[in-house]
């Protein structure tokens, strides 16, 4: 069932909820004919997916601030949120089949379900289904590293392209035997992220070896990627890293 949302509750009812399941937001207005055509199609398609996705509606006439915030230039505009960010979107009144395909693209794949299981067998099956599934590769690599199979982990991560987290984990594997970094890595593993990152940044500043500095930077960037761009620690660490590098 669709629910109306205003700027006052957008954070709670859309962004926060989208960390648990996809939330699709329909930006509409009462005067808009295509909006009236799309609404029942969208609502029926969401209902068919039995709670796997939620539908929120924003009246752009009543909430111009939200419309401006998300760059709405034509309506109906539909934006799908996952993990607090826009994952996918479309503009205009699409037909039933296209709306259904849009919603299905937001739902977990079989590989995603296997990643959620988290055991080695499931993760390997996920990678067999989707060899480029970064989350599966990272999870499997971490299991292998914990089991002392670093070479296997490196081989798994080598197949992941465009992932700062994967690059950082591979760089850490190269540096694991560096006794001077043991305290930093232990801090990261224990959840003392700020202390661990500070020690790694200090190691960057103190090192004259360009290869070592490059690897250290990759480890730090991988950790910052996990924190997220807006995290205060990520912002502060980027500043410290830039100072250490330049």
Please give the positions annotated as active site.
32, 35
Tokens 């205009």 correspond to: 92
**Cβ atoms within 10 A of the Cβ of 39, count?**
18
The phi-psi region of residue 172 (left if phi > 0; otherwise alpha if psi is between -120 and 50; otherwise beta) is alpha
Q: Of 108, 117, 151, 158, which Cα lies nearest the Cα of 137? A: 158
Cβ atoms < 10 Å from Cβ of 59: 18
The whole-angstrom separation of Cα 34 and Cα 47 is: 20
Residue 56: name the closest of 2, 114, 115 by CA.
Answer: 2
Q: How far apart are the first and last CA of the chain?
A: 54
């Amino acid at each position: 069932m669709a629910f109306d949302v205003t700027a006052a509750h957008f954070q709670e009812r859309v962004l926060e909820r989208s960390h648990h399941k996809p939330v699709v937001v329909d930006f509409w207005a009462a005067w808009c004919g295509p909006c009236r055509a799309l609404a029942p199609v969208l609502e029926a398609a969401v209902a068919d997916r039995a709670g796997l996705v939620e539908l929120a509606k924003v009246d752009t006439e009543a909430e111009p601030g939200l419309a401006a915030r998300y760059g709405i230039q034509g309506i109906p505009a539909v934006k799908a949120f996952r993990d607090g960010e826009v994952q996918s979107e479309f503009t205009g009144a699409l037909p039933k089949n296209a709306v259904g395909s849009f919603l299905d693209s937001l739902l977990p794949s079989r590989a995603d379900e296997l990643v959620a299981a988290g055991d080695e067998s499931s993760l390997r099956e996920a990678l067999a289904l989707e060899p480029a599934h970064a989350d599966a590769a990272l999870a499997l690599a971490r299991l292998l590293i914990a089991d002392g199979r670093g070479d296997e982990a490196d081989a798994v991560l080598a197949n992941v392209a465009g992932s700062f987290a994967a690059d950082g984990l591979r760089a850490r594997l190269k540096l694991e035997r560096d006794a001077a970094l043991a305290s930093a890595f232990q801090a990261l593993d224990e959840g003392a992220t700020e202390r661990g990152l500070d020690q790694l940044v200090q190691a960057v500043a103190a090192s004259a070896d360009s290869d070592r500095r490059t690897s250290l930077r990759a480890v730090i960037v991988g950790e910052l990627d996990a924190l997220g761009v807006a995290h205060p620690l990520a912002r502060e660490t980027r500043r410290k890293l830039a100072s250490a590098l330049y």
